[in-house]
Amino acid sequence: MGKQNDKKIAERGDGPVVVRQRTLKRPVSCSGPGLHSGETVSLTLLPGEPNSGIVFKRIDVEEGDCLIPASWDRVVDTRLCTVLGNGDGITVGTVEHLMAALAGCGIDNILIEIDGPEVPIMDGSSAPFVFLVECAGVVEQKEARRIIRILKPITVEDGDATASLKPADHLSFDVEIEFNGTLVSHQSLNIGLVNGTFCKELAQARTFGFLHEVEAMQAAGLAKGGSLDNAIVVSGDKVLNEGGLRYDDEFVRHKMLDAVGDLYLAGVSIMGAFEGVRCGHKLNNALLRELFADDEAWCYDTISGDEVGFAVDGGIWAQPAVA
Residues in the chain: 323
- Under 8 Å between Cβ of 94 and 37: no
**97 among known catalytic residues:** no
Distance separating alpha carbons of residues 239 and 234, to the nearest angstrom: 5
Burial class (CB in 10 A: 0-12, 13-18, 19+), 186: exposed
Per DSSP, the three-state class of 244 is coil
Could you give the angle at which helices 281-292 and 250-263 cross, rounded to 10 degrees? Answer: 30
Contacts of 11 (CB under 8 A, 6+ apart): none
Rounded to 5°, the CA angle 229-220-83 comes to 70
Contacts of 221 (CB under 8 A, 6+ apart): none
Q: How far is CA 34 from CA 123, 134, 223, 281, in A?
A: 11, 23, 8, 18
Runs of H (alpha helix) within 78-119: 96-104
Burial class (CB in 10 A: 0-12, 13-18, 19+), 38: middle
- Under 8 Å between Cβ of 298 and 2: yes
Catalytic residue among 36, 97, 254, 281: 281
- Under 8 Å between Cβ of 274 and 164: yes
| Nearest to 192, CA basis, from 265, 127, 270, 248 | 270
- Under 8 Å between Cβ of 209 and 226: yes
Active centre residues (catalytic): 281
